[in-house]
Amino acid sequence: MTDTDATTRVLARAEAWLAQDPDPETRTELQGVIDAVGGGDEDALADLHDRFDQRLAFGTAGLRGAIAAGSNRMNRVLVGQAAAGLAAYLTNHAPIGSKPSVVIGYDGRKNSQVFAQDSAEIMAGAGIRAILLPRLLPTPVLAFAVRHLDASAGVMVTASHNPPHDNGYKVYLGGRNHGSQIVSPADAEIAQEILSVASTVSVLDLPRSEPETAPESVVEAYIGVTAAVARPVRAQVNTVYTAMHGVGWETYSAVIAEAGFDEPHVVTAQIEPDAAFPTVAFPNPEEPGAMDLAFAEARAREAELVIANDPDADRLAIGIPDAAAVDGYRRLSGNEVGLLLGWRAAEANAHGRHPSEGTLACSIVSSPGLAAIARHYGLDFSNTLTGFKWISRAPGLVFGFEEALGFLVNPETVRDKDGISAALAFLSLASELKADGSDIRRHLERFAETFGAFASSQISVRVTDLDDIARLMRSLRDDAPSHIGGIRVDRVDDLSHGFGSLPPSDVLRVWLDDGSRVMIRPSGTEPKLKVYIDASSEDGTVTERIAAADAAVATIDAGMRELLRARSEPSE
């Protein structure tokens, strides 16, 4: 195909898209690009190819991308096609004689409400009972509503903690999936239905009907069952809370009030939803600087605990006072929070009706410390692929987490990570510790005394060319390192063809002679290669255990960085 042919084809795709786009903003944007191409602008032509040479893939994470015109962006055309495709899938899989249903939620990002309204109207027009949540709400409320309303499916319009210009489309399934996110083969089947819609009908021609609006009682029910996560308040905790410009505050404040906790001090500049995310470069509590305002408020209030939700409140970050930290507070890692909440859940389970039954679950890149807790309490342990679509499906689940600030403390209520209930559970733990004359820092030391010290670190290698990640993974597979940081490699598990009960995944698991572990995988949402390092120690005093685990992680971290640098450099 000549360059002229390629230009003609991409222009034709763009014109066809323009003809069905109901959004004046993206229509104007795309028309400007088309006009620039007509004027010979090579950059505009490259932009047009980037927008239309491929399609934003629908997978187990649904859809997620930058808001703009084009098949490779998030916009009303793409969302309309997704809604019609999902409606077709639900219709085809509905029991004979039954009418499928879907509940749809949305957060405070740009176009979230518009995308949700479009989806509800199009799915109602396709004969689906479409129920729209009454206002912008956290993702966990939508995940709860799928089960509470016994819906066939759920859709949450959110890009979670992605950059401000992104949005996304997350899909849950009811019935035998119990409100968990979609997994294979449902993702591929829905994607095929979406492609069928895209190739046969204009979004403007899709029939629409008025959807239902969920009653306020759905939100009230979530607040009630979530408040039950807390134990009776024994001591109030001086707390600072930030919603990170997201939708968590209204729901979280109602939950803690129901549970009997005092209202926290809030980061005023970040407490209300704001799609521009003006105070953070990247609205993710894990990112450097994202919690600076919360820590400043904590210093001013002499807070004992800092609680942060990400913008759709499905993730939780915790900060505690630390005299060694530059600003007097440090954010706990996702592993630290997960292990403390897992310990709390196992301890509660031990006092239940069936103390030796139940499963603790975490992703394969999360801390092995959860397995130690399971062994201690005689519980089952499940290691899953990354993502709560897998964790939430662990049989007999009591508690699940992933190191990326995702925690599931109430699996009978929500089958997804839930930053609201996890925040309440952690606040309740802090309250109990305070009543007993302790705190989170000393509780972490007690964990090391009881289960051993577990340390971890993470390396992210950001690339501009995704082929660089594939080359690095291929290099590590074809020529596995014999040592990392001077520690001999014992064996390497390649999970690309599956491993044990794990389905295939582009992951390498490296075991070192000292029992340490290195996990290497491409990010599922960003152009990054991610490396997870874990080490532990059960020898000596608590101080010695912690020091030994930290030292091992530091050594392996330095070794992995050197290895990745060497493998990334072009050969002579």
Which pLDDT score is estimated for 570?
60
Percent of the chain with pLDDT over 90: 90
Tens-digit pLDDT profile for residues 292-325: 999 999 999 999 999 999 999 999 999 999 999 9
Indicate if the alpha-carbon torsion angle 413, 417, 421, 425 is positive or negative: positive
Strands (E), 463-507: 483-484, 487-494
What is the DSSP secondary structure assignment for residue 457, as one 8-state letter?
E
As a whole number of angstroms, the distance between CA 290 and CA 192 comes to 38
What is the bridge-based pairing of β-strands 129-132 and 101-106?
parallel
As a whole number of angstroms, the distance between CA 481 and CA 308 comes to 39
Which pLDDT score is estimated for 198?
97
- Give the model's confidence band at 572: pLDDT under 50 very low, under 70 low, under 90 confident, else very high: very low
Tens-digit pLDDT profile for residues 313-322: 999 999 999 9
CATH of 452-568, one of 3.30.310.50, 3.40.30.10, 3.30.750.24, 2.60.120.380: 3.30.310.50
Alpha carbon dihedral 180, 184, 188, 194, in 10-degree steps, equals 0
Tens-digit pLDDT profile for residues 207-261: 999 999 999 999 999 999 999 999 999 999 999 999 999 999 999 999 999 999 9
Residue (of 463, 458, 452, 422) closest to 549 by Cα position: 452
Please state, rounded to an integer, the average pLDDT across all residues of the chain: 95
Around Cβ 436, how many Cβ atoms within 10 Å?
A: 12
- Give the model's confidence band at 2: pLDDT under 50 very low, under 70 low, under 90 confident, else very high: low
As a whole number of angstroms, the distance between CA 505 and CA 369 comes to 23
Environment class of 135 (CB within 10 Å of its CB; exposed 0-12, middle 13-18, buried 19+)? middle
pLDDT of 168 higher than 50: yes
Contact 314, 419 (CB under 8 A): yes
Contact 133, 218 (CB under 8 A): yes
215-449 shares the fold of 58-210: yes
How many CA atoms, within 13 angstroms, populate the side-chain half-sphere of residue 393?
18
Structure tokens at 20: 């069905």
Tens-digit pLDDT profile for residues 74-112: 999 999 999 999 999 999 999 888 999 999 999 999 999
- Give the model's confidence band at 463: pLDDT under 50 very low, under 70 low, under 90 confident, else very high: confident
Contact 338, 375 (CB under 8 A): no
Which pLDDT score is estimated for 357?
86
Structure tokens at 509: 């698991």
Structure tokens at 414: 């929500």
**Minimum mean pLDDT range among 263-272, 279-288, 345-354:** 345-354
- What kind of fold does domain 215-449 have according to CATH? Alpha-D-Glucose-1,6-Bisphosphate; Chain A, domain 3 (3.40.120)
- Give the model's confidence band at 279: pLDDT under 50 very low, under 70 low, under 90 confident, else very high: very high
Which pLDDT score is estimated for 465?
82
Active site residues: 160
pLDDT of 533 higher than 60: yes
Around Cβ 256, how many Cβ atoms within 10 Å?
A: 26
Cis amide leading into 527 (omega within 30): no
Which pLDDT score is estimated for 525?
66
Q: Which amino acid is at 101?
A: S
pLDDT of 492 higher than 90: yes
The verdict on domain 58-210 having CATH code 3.40.120.10 is yes
Contact 453, 513 (CB under 8 A): no
Domain ranges of the chain: 1-53, 58-210, 215-449, 452-568
Residue (of 126, 134, 39, 40) closest to 80 by Cα position: 126
The pTM score is: 0.95
Structure tokens at 307: 């609680």
In sequence order, which ranges of 234-325 are alpha helices (DSSP H)?
Answer: 248-259, 292-301
